[in-house]
Chain A
């Protein structure tokens, strides 16, 4: 047998396909979290350190509503709306007074919010992880694996939410206001756009998207007060790799990094595979600090 053939036969095609599906599923969830983060940064220059806690709060709201109503879909919807409202309230009380100040103040403020939210969740719900029951448990066969349909659904729903949001940005009046404000805050204001409300809305939308991903991902990981930490760290990596404030770039980077990690976990343990995202981050910062997925600025 030739070495080439041996090599080709040694490739675990089945595992690669499974990990491709896994990578896309995780990537879409990550994209949903990162979209809000990058949007909030892009429009108001706020690095939102409380984003992971909004994700976690969304998951807990999902637990609460699911327990009360028994409907996963209602839980998804209400958790999204409630956390969007919480986000709006946080923005109005904490970030709005800081507009025009040193960006460092917003970092401290959002970091403070994240600590408060985490400890509130710990106090309210205790340290034991809660479970969100997935809405259905069907599986399909993927080689030697029984693969849950629910995972595929998460990817599809995340894509749908991101797609709907993109259409809203592209065609909606409020979407045009958001984009105009991102490009030139002062001129937007002079055109009659209430910029401080645009900020509030964007923060609320970002919070709602984080909450939706919290509920969707809840059934896979369990819900606890610290669940936001891992995800927000990864979301930050994705936002930097995708180009700060670049929505399309964040989505591409989410899928790219999740796929790389999924493939790496074929050969190393998933905990070690996380290193991949840091490697990509460091390489990006070294060679393309404006992000992998934007044309190099001239």
Chain B
């Protein structure tokens, strides 16, 4: 496989990945891919391995078998900080704001890096503060003092500071009020328009179907269903089978 990214190859490809936590076998051969600029939904009941899939892509856990490719390049086994530098942003399910750092310092963890100009930093900050004005207001407040919704916005803004080519979004609307949920929905739209790919893990099926182009459904550590988002309806038999209410 060529090292140069070609338009044909997916931005992220996961191929037959098996991941363990200690002795427990969690992912049993997961395969999926995300193209450049594409929003892909990853659905499934609790505990089927969605978060583990994202962690495997991010290099936070390393698979025993299978490959992860980024822009055609094998990245399996690379440490997470190298993947972040390559252009993968990670917004984990519990947000994981640096609670004692201020909002601004949280953003600086992604912003202060080699090869970025001051002007570009300012642009990125301005952009984040335009999308999330509340973060501008609270820029000198400790991250831990923000509300759940604000922390979610900070987690997304922080990932955006890396100028990622893809963002792995793990249940961004979990536990948020409806107003916040629609704001998250909007930001996904904005990122999509800007050409950032997103791998979206969600429990909110309608939102995922609306925001994504393609859908993967997982069960027991493997992908069981794959289709275009437009083929799936909220009350589809498939949705009932795998996500059941």
Contact = CB atoms under 8 A, between A and B. Distances in A.
Interface of A: 173, 176-177, 179-180, 183-184, 186-195
Interface in B161-219: 162
A226 to B, nearest CB: 39
B101 A191 contact: no
B118 to A, nearest CB: 13
A176 B85 contact: no
Contacts of A194: 79, 81
B84 interface: yes
Given A186-B60, A189-B81, A179 B162 contact: no
Q: Majority SS of interface residues in chain A?
A: helix
B60 A189 contact: yes
Nearest to A171: B105
Interface string B42-60: 0000000000000000101
B20 to A, nearest CB: 16
A176 B107 CA distance: 10
25 contacts: A173-B108, A173-B112, A176-B109, A180-B98, A180-B101, A180-B105, A183-B99, A183-B101, A186-B60, A186-B80, A187-B92, A187-B98, A188-B109, A189-B79, A189-B84, A190-B58, A190-B80, A190-B84, A191-B84, A192-B81, A192-B84, A192-B113, A192-B162, A193-B81, A193-B109
A9 B80 CA distance: 68
A181 to B, nearest CB: 9
Nearest to A173: B112
Given A187-B98, A191-B158, A176 B81 contact: no
Contacts of B90: 190
Contacts of A188: 98, 109
Nearest to A186: B60
B60 A179 contact: no
B98 A195 contact: no
B135 to A, nearest CB: 16
User: Which of A173, A176, A190 is the most central at the interface, judged by chain B CB atoms within 10 Å of its CB?
Assistant: A190
Contact of B85 (A173, A186, A192, A195): A192
Interface of B: 58, 60, 79-81, 84-85, 90, 92, 96, 98-101, 105, 108-110, 112-113, 158, 162
A180 B109 contact: yes
Nearest to A196: B79
Contacts of A177: 109, 112
B155 to A, nearest CB: 9
A66 B58 CA distance: 51
Contact of B108 (A176, A184, A189): A176
B81 A195 contact: yes
Given A184-B98, A193-B81, 7 more contacts: A177-B109, A177-B112, A179-B98, A179-B105, A190-B90, A191-B84, A192-B109
A97 B98 CA distance: 26
Contacts of B162: 191-192
A184 B105 CA distance: 14
User: Which of B79, B90, B98, B100 is the most central at the interface, judged by chain A CB atoms within 10 Å of its CB?
Assistant: B98
A186 B110 CA distance: 14
Contacts of B105: 176, 179-180
A194 B92 CA distance: 19
A183 B143 CA distance: 12
A188 B108 CA distance: 11
A188 B101 CA distance: 12
A187 B84 contact: no
A188 B79 CA distance: 12
Contacts of A191: 81, 84, 109-110, 158, 162
Contacts of B85: 192
- List 10 tightest A-B contacts by C-beta distance, closest first: A192-B84, A173-B112, A187-B96, A189-B80, A190-B90, A191-B109, A183-B98, A180-B109, A180-B98, A190-B80
B51 to A, nearest CB: 13
B97 to A, nearest CB: 8
Nearest to A192: B84
Nearest to B100: A183
User: Which of B80, B96, B108, B110 is the most central at the interface, judged by chain A CB atoms within 10 Å of its CB?
Assistant: B80
Contacts of A183: 98-101
Contacts of A192: 81, 84-85, 109-110, 113, 162
A187 B113 CA distance: 16
Contact of A184 (B81, B96, B112): B96
Contacts of A189: 60, 79-81, 84
Contacts of B98: 179-180, 183-184, 187-188
A133 to B, nearest CB: 43
